[in-house]
Amino acid sequence: DSGVTQTPKHLITATGQRVTLRCSPRSGDLSVYWYQQSLDQGLQFLIQYYNGEERAKGNILERFSAQQFPDLHSELNLSSLELGDSALYFCASSVGTSGGGETQYFGPGTRLLVL
């Protein structure tokens, strides 16, 4: 158990819908990262937040948005869902901004299926 929690574990929804994925980092970690794992794209970095502020952005679609709240939990919002958004979404956390090669601890993931 990495100490990172993600809810829900599974999510099934329809095209055009909007969903919210939630992540709670390990106690004391200030950074949260979101990654997407799909069959065709592999594991891709989406976005990083550090202590409530956006720190880095990857290949995140405009239909996707995220935020980190004062209690440091984070939410990833996916809207206007398409079939291709079906994937495993991981949240990871680290103590700081990942400087010094510090370890990113991954949560168990949320499996999203868009029908």
Partner 1 sequence: AQTVTQSQPEMSVQEAETVTLSCTYDTSESDYYLFWYKQPPSRQMILVIRQEAYKQQNATENRFSVNFQKAAKSFSLKISDSQLGDAAMYFCAYRRGDYAGGTSYGKLTFGQGTILTVHP
Compute φ and ψ for 47, nearest 5 degrees.
Answer: -165, 155
Q: Which is nearer to partner 1, 67 or 79 (CB)?
A: 67
Q: Do 22 and 107 meet the contact criterion of CB atoms below 8 Å apart?
A: no
Q: What is the CA radius of gyration of the chain?
A: 13
CB of 16 vs partner 1, minimal distance in Å: 27
Single residue of 11, 21, 23, 35 touching partner 1 by CB under 8 A: 35
Binding piece for partner 1, criterion CB under 8 A, among 17-25, 30-38, 61-69, 72-80: 30-38
Cis peptide before 8 (omega within 30 of 0): yes
CB of 80 vs partner 1, minimal distance in Å: 25
Q: Which is nearer to partner 1, 70 or 101 (CB)?
A: 101
Residue listed under structure tokens 């990113």: 104
Strands 10-13 and 19-24: unpaired
Binding residues for partner 1, rule: CB under 8 A, are 2, 31, 33, 35, 42-45, 48, 50, 55-58, 88, 90, 92, 94, 97-101, 103-106, 108-109, 111
